[in-house]
Structure 1
Amino acid sequence: MKYKELIAKMTLEEKASLMSGKDFWQSQDIERLGISSIFFADGPHGIRRQAVAADKLGLNEGNPATCYPTAATVANSWNAELGEKVGEYLGEEAIAQKVNVLLGPGVNMKRNPLCGRNFEYFSEDPYLAGKMAASYIRGIQSQGIAACVKHFAANNQEERRMSIDTIVDERTLREIYLTAFEIAVKEGQTKSIMSSYNKLNGTYTNENLHLMQDILRGEWNYKGTVITDWGGSNDRIAGLIAGNELEMPTTAGETDAEIVEAIKSGKIKEEVLDECVDRLLDLIFTTEKVYKKPQSEFDIERHHRVSQKVAEESIVLLKNEGNILPLRFGKKVAVIGDFAQDARYQGAGSSIVNPTILDHTLYCFEESGIVSIGYEPGFERYGKKSQKLIDDACALAEKADVILLYLGLDEATEAEGLDRHSMKIPENQIELLDAIYEVNKDIVLILSCGSAVEMPWIDKVRGVLHGYLGGQAGARAILRVLSGDVNPSGKLAETYPLHYEDTPSYRNFPGGEASVEYREGMYIGYRYYDTANVNVLFPFGYGLSYTTFEYSDLQVNKDGVKFKITNSGKIAGMEIAQLYVGCKSDEIFRPKKELKGFDKIFINAGESKTVYIPFDDKAFRYFNVKTNQWEIEEAEYTIMIGASSIDIRLVDTIFVEGTGAPIPYDKKLLPSYYSGLAHNVSVEEFETLMGRKVPVSTWDRTKPLGYNDTIAQCQYAKGLIARMVYHLILFSYWFLRKIGKRNAANIIMMSIYNLPFRGIARLTGGLVNMPMLDGILMIVNGNTFKGLNHVFKERRKMLKISNAKLNS
């Protein structure tokens, strides 16, 4: 241990006190030993340090900070160097705000396009997500503070996220849902990791010994700190044994006392606590060093320009019929759509950033050189229909040469804690598009949203430019692409299916009441669509440019691939070359192709450049469930170089020697997985893949409600008060949506409806403790008066202890 002498000076109570927060955003300090508190702040795409009331959870506005494009946006740049630059600037701003640990990046897979937090995650592909995350982490930590990669692991939906049990087979877990974390740990050297809320195969992630000890600490040799998601601790002792150092936020000493008692009773050894304290001390001491130097404010304008550069490189041109873009000089443009006036530039939830500057389309036209003849909102942002808004927009559209139509998803649709209900753009926006199409067919659609949407209307527009969520400078960046000042170079980091029903997880999202089964296995995103030959709207890795690129001269050897790209167009541009690998053997089921490398290259018009992409340790491996380790199958492998997952330009083969591991599967028993048609797997076949029975996915309505049951389950509680509270919550949600207060309605669902009862104690900063929660559960389960008496008795006891501490 690094801090053995210091730990020896601590009392048992002091050591235990370090294992939970001082308040909602700070770790505990021990002044007599020179151990300071460190500050945590949300921040996957900008620093969110709350300006006031730091003892309240996440609902107050943050100090002004640069709002960079979200991870889903930057992933479309496929530029790891750019990601590292974003990280460096995030680190600079964190230091300016005295933040020690930045809670990000998020690397969970986009298993399903409806996950409400997809805007915060990079990709459906673990290799791309991992490489981008590692670059962010290197940038953040180059400034002396810590990144905190999240949410570990298999947290791929928001609905019931604090109680859902993710059921996934070991190979899929390793290859799809852990690979990005592995890259973040090994290549990014992240100093901290946030455990997720959910269970994984029956055990909460921060208590899961297989996940936390066998894999994270054992196989990956992780030496850093594990921090719970806020309110994500279930059994504090089980978490400590698993190596979960820090529980956040504060529990007002309640779980510290549990740790002390567990050690005194012999339930756990003090050495386990000492090791956890040692790792946390390392996080504290290594991140506080930077604050011993004189601090300076960050350059707001320079950071804003960097945000714009990142947005420009992440914008994706999806359609450009007749080369309608870039806009010709002198064309009269009508700007229509509420998102043009009030930019949609970030997601909602704990990641909301209070921007230092905010560009809006209507204020940036003069410098863009685009001639605007006027603006109309065209639709009401949150879905209310208005024929007058449509009529006014059509009147303007008739006078224009080209329509710039700004559509997308609103802030209340893409939000932490809630999944989307569909992949559709709101109906009032589509009605606007249909009406404009009748008066002017030269429509360029600018899309603003952080996740995939259906586009059955795409034949009615000549151009589609997807800005995703481009941060505070995104509006100006889009205009620079429209005008031709910037040649678009982004490519999709996720597939856009034709219909939501085409997605492989469609039948198993968001799962049952108690669990979600990942029956599709490893076949998510392009791995499924390409293998099962399902047509998509836009494939993974797709994006257009204002120039053209030709690929040639592929050379493959045991170390990697080399090939040539020529810019055959008339203007300079950047191309993203993608390396895919497919195994020609059918002994072990695999996707048709998997991304194993990529590079982004700037090439002048008429110029050729040689590109080299090396093979790494992930190029040919698969996880063998019989040997319980990574193996290589001896076989011929197809090496594919593509401009997208389906636009393969160069192909060759290479023979790779294997590790001689036994074949882990009986092909006859797993037909869906061997064919790749894994969109409708039976429970029997899934159980064969799992190697065990899957748990019942419905709530047990015969048992009394307990700590890990959710408030939503009050619908069948024995207590009349509990059932009344349940219906009151539902009514409040309906009423708030009815009067247009959708954000407030979302908070009810996120913070109350799907909250486990233990969250009442874990997220109230000591206002409610676990003994008081026992009384609440008595009321819920029908013992109303006994429960009330218990609550008041425990409340008085808690206040008495608290007052005694204050007076001592």
Structure 2
Amino acid sequence: MTLRHLAAATAAVCGLYAAGADKPAYLDESLPLEQRVEDALSRMTLDEKIAMCHAEGKFASAGVPRLGIPDLWMSDGPHGVRAEINWNDWGSAGHTNDSITAFPALTALAATWNPELSMAYGNAIGEEALYREKDMMLGPGVNIYRTPLNGRNFEYMGEDPYLASVLVVPYIKGMQQNGVSACVKHYALNNQERWRGHINVELSDRALNEIYLPAFKAAVEDGEVWSIMGSYNKIRGQHACHNDLMLNKILKDDWKFDGVVVTDWGGCHDTREAALYGLDLEMGSYTNGLTSESAFTYDDYYLANPYKEMLQKGEVPMSTLDDKVRRLLRLNFRTAMNRNKPFGSIHSPEHYAVAEAIGDEAIVLLKNAPVTKKGAPLLPIDPSRFGSILVVGDNAVRMLNEGGGSSELKVKDMVSPLDGMKSLYGDKVKFAQGYKAGRPMYDAVEEIPQSVTDSLRAEAVEMARNADLVVIFGGLNKNTRQDCEAADRIEYGLPFGQPELIAAIEAVNPNTVVVLLSGNAVEMPWEAKIPAIVQGWYLGTMGGQSLANVLSGKVNPSGKLPFSFPVKLEDCGAHSFGDICYPGDSINEKYLEDILVGYRWHDTKKIAPKYSFGHGLSYTDFTYGKAELSSKTIAADGSITLSIPVTNTGKSAGKEVVQLYIGDDKASVFRPLKELKGFSKISLAPGETKNVTFTITPDDLKFYDETTKGWIAEPGKFTAYVGSSSTDIRAKATFDYK
């Protein structure tokens, strides 16, 4: 319990109740939560209730000082606790004690396919939030990867709703066991940054329920998350932060969510809708949620004086206010008023170890071929094979935690890729910048003179000519129009002349490795000539160490892609129906690809990706045996198991992600060829075999029926596909559902 929380509680006990009266029920943590909430609610005035429903600072909302209920303090995430900003504006507070651990971005976490690491991730951030006296962390994000141009994809968990659902739950539980609320975002359909504040999304009920809602539903029903952040966009004509369908009917009625719905900063637009349609806490109004300010005060917020006036006039019922305050009190008692919380810690050795472990398992080996037919693959880097190593690229030394929007982080330590390579290979490593990317900015692009670009490229090419091995650390960064909030990417290809740099270096030295640091897929016209390609993500504080671990072979890569890499942008479903499908006409956008997102599109339309969902190579080899079913039939109230042996037939220990997909062979509605329904990450020593078992239930066979507004599984034949990726299927088995 922090000093500010202790002071608030003491005020209630020693002030209001100094005369010897019994301790009020709301302060008695031995009583049921709902009893405490009702007791506190009964003691509050109208003004105190209204004050709780809107911000009192950029990242704070009011408690009830008279009752000793502290305010709520929040911070941006989801990859670490953001540095302190001023109470009433977006300027830096200039503190010297707010440096933290930067954890890998959520695309990297998704690439681990490891729920245990997700639990460790959430717990570590929860501990850092505790130390920084935060009651709510604004994350994690689970919006679906629909297009590689979305500037905020790096904050999310990929293209598949099942994968995101499995990974978000332990993250939430890990964080909330510390008494810090996770705030899952952005609910929902915030799948692009362009026109995010007003674009109206139109989509089918099937796409909504099968693709875009499952991870949020899992967060509520399985993760028991304490808060949800609404998104900026409109859904079927109504803003998501006060949307009757999304908040009242689905979230609160169908899923029984008992927590707080908070706006994205500036996401509220109407007092009446905010009162009636499910919003509980309004933050950041009259700003763009990132940089802008206004002359309005907190009392001018939609849920402040305007709401009070509507309540007093009877234009909206008082029950709407009491419901909001109940939820806010519930959140407060779970977090700020929780006297059993530890103090937390920041940038500890334990947190660095968690960050490194996640990075180790996140890195995806996309390609690893020999330069000559009789040669060995380039990776891992054997120091006896290469006497000199040239590291190239702005991203080899760039602080990739900076920029990106609200996820920017101020770190105590940062191991760069160049640092990591030098720690292993010492004086063998030389460096050439190769390209320049400019300063990180949210709303402008620093133009780099062509003369500078040409000079840096020429220098790198000349140094590459004399090196035994070249490792290019390229990709994107957190500048605007890349992996950054508030704007989408404007091209699928690599920026800053990187394609020309890669081609020029490969032309003088075929021993070239390309490491992509990004949260998005990129176009690869150079891919055929590059023998080794690694997807290295944004890995945070320990990123350079994790990259060195994998490139050297100290760690055998086990990451798998959480989204597909289309060959070209037009191969992506969202880009196959013209502008109305993406980015929209500036007012409306129609999800015409419907349920065929990511690998579902590639599979069903027979459009091969460059690298498929679930793909990731290893330095060893895994052989799959025959898939065996416990029965050839599933009953409506039953289940069957599928078992398959997997053997490490290589020479080194490694981890493999065994993936289960299920396809409906004949349905009355259109369905994808197959959908992910299970996965298991296993560790195998050389020669070792493990039997991987999956349980298949009728829920795994269902689709959302738009006629009955519910989930159904139709009798018929189904196929189970088991493989190492969505395209690398190693075994199949068929069964009937009756």
Question: Shorter-normalised TM-score: what interval?
Answer: 0.7 to 0.9
In structure 2, what is the Cα distance between the partners aligned to 1:601 and 1:91?
27
Partner of 1:493: 562
Partner of 1:119: 154
Give yes or no for the alignment of 1:396 onto 2:463: yes
SS in 2 for 1:253: helix
Deviations 1:652-681 (A, max 9, x none): 112113xxxxxxxxxxxxxxxxxxxxxxxx
Give the partner amino acid of 2:493.
K
Deviations 1:150-188 (A, max 9, x none): 000111110111111011111111111111111111111
In structure 1, what is the Cα distance between the partners aligned to 2:709 and 2:214?
15
Give yes or no for the alignment of 1:635 onto 2:716: yes
SS in 1 for 2:497: helix
Partner of 2:333: 285
8 Å contact from structure 2 (residues 465, 508) kept in 1? yes
Indicate how the Cα distance of structure 1 residues 276 and 347 shifts in structure 2: closer, same or farther if over 3 A, else same. same
Give yes or no for the alignment of 1:655 onto 2:699: no
Partner of 1:176: 211
In structure 2, what is the Cα distance between the partners aligned to 1:460 and 1:61?
48
Give the partner amino acid of 1:542.
H
Partner of 1:8: 42
Indicate how the Cα distance of structure 1 residues 294 and 103 shifts in structure 2: closer, same or farther if over 3 A, else same. closer
C-alpha displacement of 1:410: 2.9
Partner of 1:559: 640
Indicate how the Cα distance of structure 1 residues 293 and 74 shifts in structure 2: closer, same or farther if over 3 A, else same. closer
C-alpha displacement of 1:305: 2.3
Give the partner amino acid of 2:90.
L
Partner of 2:550: 481
Partner of 1:56: 89
Of 534, 537, 541, the residue aligned with 1:465 is 534
Q: TM-score, normalised by structure 1?
A: 0.79
Of 332, 343, 359, the residue aligned with 2:415 is 359
8 Å contact from structure 1 (residues 126, 177) kept in 2? yes
In structure 2, what is the Cα distance between the partners aligned to 1:61 and 1:124?
38
C-alpha displacement of 1:406: 1.4
Give the partner amino acid of 1:463.
A
Of 580, 603, 616, the residue aligned with 1:543 is 616
8 Å contact from structure 1 (residues 369, 483) kept in 2? no
C-alpha displacement of 1:469: 0.9
Deviations 1:734-785 (A, max 9, x none): xxxxxxxxxxxxxxxxxxxxxxxxxxxxxxxxxxxxxxxxxxxxxxxxxxxx
Indicate how the Cα distance of structure 1 residues 652 and 495 shifts in structure 2: closer, same or farther if over 3 A, else same. same
SS in 1 for 2:643: strand
Indicate how the Cα distance of structure 1 residues 59 and 423 shifts in structure 2: closer, same or farther if over 3 A, else same. farther
Of 389, 392, 396, the residue aligned with 1:336 is 392
Indicate how the Cα distance of structure 1 residues 136 and 568 shifts in structure 2: closer, same or farther if over 3 A, else same. same
SS in 1 for 2:676: strand
8 Å contact from structure 1 (residues 560, 615) kept in 2? yes
Indicate how the Cα distance of structure 1 residues 551 and 370 shifts in structure 2: closer, same or farther if over 3 A, else same. farther
8 Å contact from structure 1 (residues 441, 461) kept in 2? yes
- Give me the identity figure in percent: 36
Of 267, 282, 287, the residue aligned with 2:315 is 267
Give the partner amino acid of 1:354.
K
C-alpha displacement of 1:92: 0.3
C-alpha displacement of 1:21: 1.1
Give yes or no for the alignment of 1:326 onto 2:380: yes
Partner of 2:696: 615
Deviations 1:173-211 (A, max 9, x none): 111111111111111111000011111011111222111
In structure 2, what is the Cα distance between the partners aligned to 1:498 and 1:187?
36
Which runs of no fewer than 5 residues in structure 2 stay unpaired? 1-33, 286-296, 371-376, 439-447, 631-638
Partner of 1:201: 236
Give the partner amino acid of 2:87.
A
Deviations 1:486-519 (A, max 9, x none): 1000010000000011111112211112111111
C-alpha displacement of 1:555: 2.1
Describe how 1:36-435 pairs up with structure 2 within 5 A: 36-50=70-84, 52-57=85-90, 63-249=98-284, 251-254=297-300, 255=302, 256-290=304-338, 295=343, 297-298=345-346, 300-322=348-370, 323-330=377-384, 331=386, 332-344=388-400, 348-369=404-425, 372-382=428-438, 384-385=449-450, 386-412=453-479, 413-426=482-495, 428-435=497-504
Q: More helix per residue: 1 or 2?
A: 1
In structure 2, what is the Cα distance between the partners aligned to 1:57 and 1:70?
23
In structure 1, what is the Cα distance between the partners aligned to 2:723 and 2:502?
34
In structure 1, what is the Cα distance between the partners aligned to 2:380 and 2:537?
19
Which moved further from structure 2: 228-237 or 517-526?
A: 228-237
Q: TM-score, normalised by structure 2?
A: 0.86
C-alpha displacement of 1:49: 4.2
C-alpha displacement of 1:79: 0.5
Give the partner amino acid of 1:11.
T
8 Å contact from structure 1 (residues 198, 204) kept in 2? yes
In structure 2, what is the Cα distance between the partners aligned to 1:378 and 1:549?
37
Indicate how the Cα distance of structure 1 residues 103 and 401 shifts in structure 2: closer, same or farther if over 3 A, else same. same
Indicate how the Cα distance of structure 1 residues 535 and 60 shifts in structure 2: closer, same or farther if over 3 A, else same. farther
Give the partner amino acid of 1:399.
N
Deviations 1:229-266 (A, max 9, x none): 11111112322222211111375222322222222222
C-alpha displacement of 1:59: 6.3
Describe how 1:561-576 pairs up with structure 2 within 5 A: 561-576=642-657
C-alpha displacement of 1:565: 0.8
In structure 1, what is the Cα distance between the partners aligned to 2:492 and 2:94?
30
C-alpha displacement of 1:613: 2.1
In structure 1, what is the Cα distance between the partners aligned to 2:330 and 2:241?
20
Which moved further from structure 2: 307-316 or 14-23?
A: 14-23
Deviations 1:68-120 (A, max 9, x none): 00001111110011011000000000000000000000000011110010010
Which moved further from structure 2: 581-590 or 549-558?
A: 549-558
Give the partner amino acid of 2:365.
L
In structure 2, what is the Cα distance between the partners aligned to 1:164 and 1:291?
43
Deviations 1:329-370 (A, max 9, x none): 321211122222225357610011111210123333343247
SS in 2 for 1:602: strand
C-alpha displacement of 1:217: 1.1
In structure 2, what is the Cα distance between the partners aligned to 1:149 and 1:327?
40
SS in 1 for 2:66: helix
Give the partner amino acid of 1:404.
V
Describe how 1:772-787 pairs up with structure 2 within 5 A: none
Indicate how the Cα distance of structure 1 residues 564 and 428 shifts in structure 2: closer, same or farther if over 3 A, else same. same
8 Å contact from structure 2 (residues 615, 725) kept in 1? yes
8 Å contact from structure 2 (residues 499, 525) kept in 1? no
Deviations 1:457-510 (A, max 9, x none): 112211001101111211111111111101000010000000011111112211
Give the partner amino acid of 2:204.
D
In structure 1, what is the Cα distance between the partners aligned to 2:503 and 2:454?
12
In structure 2, what is the Cα distance between the partners aligned to 1:73 and 1:347?
18
8 Å contact from structure 1 (residues 98, 291) kept in 2? no
In structure 2, what is the Cα distance between the partners aligned to 1:431 and 1:511?
32
SS in 1 for 2:179: coil
8 Å contact from structure 1 (residues 345, 448) kept in 2? no
Which moved further from structure 2: 107-116 or 128-137?
A: 128-137
Indicate how the Cα distance of structure 1 residues 642 and 253 shifts in structure 2: closer, same or farther if over 3 A, else same. same
**Alpha-carbon RMSD:** 1.8
C-alpha displacement of 1:400: 1.6
In structure 1, what is the Cα distance between the partners aligned to 2:707 and 2:94?
51
Partner of 1:603: 684
